[in-house]
Chain A
Amino acid sequence: MRIPCPYCGPRDAHEFTCLGDATLTRPDPAAPDAASAFHDYVYRRDNPAGPHRELWYHGGGCRSWLEVTRDTRTHAITDARFAADRSSAAQGTEDRP
């Protein structure tokens, strides 16, 4: 499987580490229901068949976190972008990391 790194270009999956689901948001640890929210966050993961957004770390290359859209049935990758672009947009900052 090759992952099209937006900085390095297409690279073998061995250069990357998969963290898993990119669609989850870490719960607020100060919230009153934090314990159950974290239980769901850690253990109650979906296992979708089809396109899935995942976090991959390019440790063998540019050391960027990527958000990769991968079809879990075929390993076809339809999108790969810097994960920081998503979080920086959310934080209103203009740049990585």
Chain B
Amino acid sequence: MSDSRLNSVRHGRADGAAGVRATPLHHRALATLVAGRGQTAALAERIGTRFGLCLPTTPRRVSSGSVAFVGVGPGRWLAMDETGDGLAFETALVEAAAGHASATDQSDGLVLLRLSGPDLRRALAKGIGIDLHPAVFRLGDAATTPFALIGTTLWRIDGGGHAHDLTVEIAVARSYAADFLQALTEAAAEFGFDLHPTARG
């Protein structure tokens, strides 16, 4: 791999700073966690004890250390570990859940991207049907909703910039990642879009 491939590739408007940036988040363990019937309260207690956090009952991201859980539906979460290996994380979840839930490794099933930039909200608005204004979509808020008819789950994180800057992480099924990136590239082109070359999944 040549050095130039490690640099972001500019799409669309070429002048000025990029309005939208996309960076892949490799090496993060991902798993779905699904509570059994009537087991949500017992599961929350076990997960709380094991990982030191309170499982969200709404579309929110809750984290503790390297581990985070994103609410994606009633009794369903997308769990992630920034340091873990997928299979080890799945095993840790299964052991913590102790029969109250099923956990399935999704580290290879989903592509995770970090999206940022001053024009991100305007670019996402072309394909997503929810209000992502920072006053409404607050830090830690999550949503499962299609972008350009492609199912996604996204959550807002602190990008380190101005309080009104929108930075999100977004999970897309790996088989849809190429189509998702094509749609995002077209949506972001007018603002200047920096896409890291390894984001192609």
Residues of A within 8 A of B (CB): 7-9, 11-12, 14-15, 60-64, 82, 84, 93-97
Asked if A14 and B129 sit within 8 Å, CB to CB, the answer is yes
**A11 to B37, Cβ gap below 8 A?**
no
Q: Could you say which residues of chain A place their CB within 8 Å of the CB of B73?
A: 7, 61-64
Contacts of B146 in A (CB 8 A): 15, 60
Q: DSSP class of A's interface residues: helix, strand, loop or mixed? A: loop
For A58, the closest partner residue in chain B by CB is B73
Cross-chain pairs A/B with CB under 8 angstroms, 22 sampled:
A8-B59, A9-B130, A12-B129, A15-B129, A15-B146, A60-B145, A60-B146, A60-B151, A61-B143, A61-B145, A62-B72, A63-B73, A84-B74, A93-B37, A95-B37, A95-B38, A95-B75, A96-B37, A96-B75, A97-B37, A97-B74, A97-B75
CA distance in complex: A9, B76 (Å): 16
* Max chain B C-beta neighbours (<10 A), residue from A12, A14, A60: A60
Q: Contacts A8-B144, A8-B145, A15-B146 hold; do A64 and B74 have CB atoms under 8 A apart?
A: yes
Number of interface residues of B (CB under 8 A): 20
B58 at the interface (CB under 8 A from A): yes
Q: Which of B's residues lie within 8 Å of A, judged by CB?
A: 35, 37-41, 58-59, 72-76, 129-130, 143-146, 151
Q: Which residues from chain B contact A97 at a C-beta distance below 8 Å?
A: 37, 74-75
Known pairs A8-B144, A60-B145, A61-B73 / 8 extra A-B pairs, C-beta < 8 Å: A7-B73, A11-B129, A15-B129, A62-B73, A62-B76, A63-B73, A82-B74, A97-B37
A-side contacts of B38, CB under 8 Å: 93-95
Residues of A within 8 A of B144 (CB): 8, 60-62
CB distance from B135 to the nearest CB of A (A): 15
Chain A residues contacting B40 (CB-CB under 8 Å) are: 95-96
A65 to B58, CA, bound (A): 16
Residues of A within 8 A of B59 (CB): 7-9, 62
